[in-house]
Amino acid sequence: MTALAVLVQAAIDRWDARLEAQLFGTEDPVEVAAGIEAFVREHLGEPVDALLYEAGVGAVAGLRLVDGRDVVVKVHRWNVSVERLTAVQRVQAHVAARGVPVPRPLLPVLPLESGLATVEEHLGGERIDGRTPEARRLMAEGLHAFLDATRGVDAEVGRALILRPPGEPLWPEPHSVRFDFHATAEGAEWIDELGEHARARLDAVELPDVIGHLDWRVQNLAFRDGALAAIYDSDSIGKAPEPVLVGSTAGGFCIDWDAAVADPPPNPDEMRAFVADYETARGASFDAAEREALDAANLMMVAYGARSQHSDLFLQPEFGNTSAIGWFRLLRQRGERCF
């Protein structure tokens, strides 16, 4: 096995091979790795080592090339388009040019097996504990810097999925192939009720959209020498009003599902502290209308987390037995209003 194949095997052992089967047409880690390596060899150069492999919304591989460059390849599922990913790359380049540590795209969007591949530079950096006050402050400041840097860029990156268009179902398509909301509806009525309440409030929001990062969590960030060093998961770039972005981020900023023992979501006090840190970075408090949007978005995000983990409890209890309890507890603790 190549180094990448070993990492693919470890990811399959930890979760399962459904994503790989859908993207690459095989559950064999050697074949999955070979497909990614062949793509990199054709378009960038010879890969000589593997840095990482993660399977979630898409398949992500980090490779070192013979010329010394470190690159990240992400193979996206069928629920994205070339147009949207190209718009995301435009935002990446715009933000990186303004000094924010977003990896620069290295190739245009290209097909890879049954998915679409994007390739960007790997900036490195270290992981930190997202629950510390210092980490929380860095993440809040980084989010504000990211939003500030996107001003003026014109890119059709799409709106946040929690902002559901009229007539659409309450929940968007789950972000991972392992979730099935339809098959696990029984017992989730209390979550759906809170989700409907949040949706009605979000439908009433009349605030301008900005471009931000919709999955701003410590797992998608890297740090070096007490500063933010890298912002990953760029396909999470999208549009929403600023307080909607902040409210949804507050619901999960400290979560790292790849940690040895995954942390539970933040508690209500930690969520409020994140918002306060963001307001400090912003230099102004949110007004009443903005705080209403923030609270509604936070409720929707936490309800979605609970709904996802409710699915796990039914379909894959080995994943849901611990993290689900944290989402359920948080949803009940925060109730209809928290901010």
321 against 228, higher pLDDT: 228
Determine the pLDDT at residue 230: 97
If asked whether residues 47 and 161 sit together in one domain, one would say no
Residue 156 located in a structural domain: yes
The rounded mean pLDDT for the chain is: 92
In a domain, 300, yes or no: yes
Both 138 and 50 in one domain: the answer is no
Judgement on whether residues 317 and 225 belong to the same structural domain of the protein: yes
Among 47-56, 144-153, 198-207, 261-270, the least confident range: 261-270
CATH of residue 213's domain is 3.90.1200.10
In a domain, 58, yes or no: yes
Q: Is the pLDDT of residue 134 over 60?
A: yes
Same domain, 106 and 167: no
Are 141 and 266 found together in one domain?
yes
Whether 165 and 72 share a structural domain: no
Rounded to an integer, the average pLDDT of 41-60 is 95
- Of 121, 151, 182, the position where a domain reaches its end is 121
Reported as a pLDDT band with limits 50, 70 and 90, residue 318 is low
CB neighbours of residue 151 within 10 Å: 10
Do residues 141 and 106 share a domain?
no
Residue 126 counted as domain residue: no
Please answer whether residues 4 and 53 qualify as being in contact, where contact means their C-beta atoms are separated by less than 8 angstroms: yes
339 in a structural domain: no
Q: Does 127 reside within a domain?
A: no
- 16 or 240: which carries more pLDDT confidence? 240
Domain check: are 266 and 218 in the same one?
Answer: yes
pLDDT at residue 264, rounded to an integer: 82
**Residues 270, 308 within the same domain:** yes
- Residue 109's domain is classified under what CATH number? 3.30.200.20
Domain annotation covers residue 46: yes
The pLDDT value recorded for residue 21 is: 95
Q: Residue 24's pLDDT band (boundaries 50, 70, 90)?
A: very high
pLDDT at 43: 98
- Looking at 101-105, 170-174, 234-238, 242-246, which range is the least confident one? 170-174
pLDDT for residue 94 is more than 70: yes
User: Looking at residue 309, what is its pLDDT?
Assistant: 87
Q: Over 60: is that where the pLDDT of 322 sits?
A: no
Please write the tens of the pLDDT for every residue from 106-118.
999 999 999 999 9
172: in domain: yes
Least confident of 53-57, 81-85, 188-192, 273-277: 53-57
Domain stop point among 121, 144, 165: 121
The span from the CA of 139 to the CA of 148, in Å, is: 14
**Mean local confidence (pLDDT), 14-21:** 90
Are residues 39 and 14 located together in one domain of the fold?
Answer: yes
Distances (CA, A) of 201 to 84, 175, 221, 229, 299: 27, 23, 30, 36, 10
* 139 & 266 share domain: yes
Domains of the chain: total = 2
Domain hosting 248: range is: 133-334
Tell me: do 200 and 265 sit in the same domain: yes
Tell which of 121, 145, 171 closes a domain.
Answer: 121
